[in-house]
Amino acid sequence: MELENKESIYGDNRPAMEDVMNIILGSIDELRANMTANDGTDPVEHCLSRIKTEDSMREKCRRQGLPETPESALVTIHDAIGVRVVCPFISDVYAVRDHLKDMEGFELIEEKDYIKHAKPNGYRSHHMILQYKGKYYAEIQLRTISMDTWAALEHHMRYKKEKSPNDELITAELKRCADELASTDMSMQTIRDMIKAELHREV
């Protein structure tokens, strides 16, 4: 069977996109090294990155009624490059956010704080769209371990499309779980701040 020979929806931009993604990851590694050296704390639990697959990008173009072209994939749509940073504490999320906003060559295009202003279903995360040298866009998601756990579990449970009599109860329970995890995040942040204050007093 002959395979269909399609040109990449990214044209010849994929190597440059990978370079941009690696610049972001390298900058995050630099922040981690500096913070670990300065106060012994690593602001990142783990970091994931990807360039959206050809099939996913083409499907997104179709869903948005866009032509399947590099213009759509790289200019109209802003998440061809994606980086997710999972942090131990809420303060780490904002430390990484501040660092990324100050990266040379990058401009902050859009920022949505779903930590301070959670979505109605309880989803919490900090989203940023960065643009590199006026050309390539990257979507950055910053969240705590608790937020990432909730988002992953909620994603696994979104397996059905049909309405059911339990939909309202399921939605309410997911929201309750999200709120409980958010409360835990705040408590853990408070405990961490207390420990850091004690250590500074001892010094």
pLDDT for res 159: 58
- Tokens at 33, concatenated: 């090294």
pLDDT for res 50: 98
Entry pTM: 0.90
pLDDT one-digit tens code per residue, 24-61: 999 999 999 999 999 889 999 999 999 999 999 999 99
Using an 8 Å Cβ cutoff, are 150 and 122 in contact? yes
Question: How far, in Å, CA of 121 to CA of 187, rounded?
Answer: 21
pLDDT one-digit tens code per residue, 164-203: 778 888 889 999 999 999 999 999 999 999 998 887 776 5
- Domains plus CATH for the chain? 1-203 (3.30.460.10)
Plot region of 11 (φ>0 → left; ψ -120 to 50 → alpha; else → beta)? left
- What's the pLDDT band for 2 if we cut at 50, 70, 90? very low
pLDDT for res 161: 56
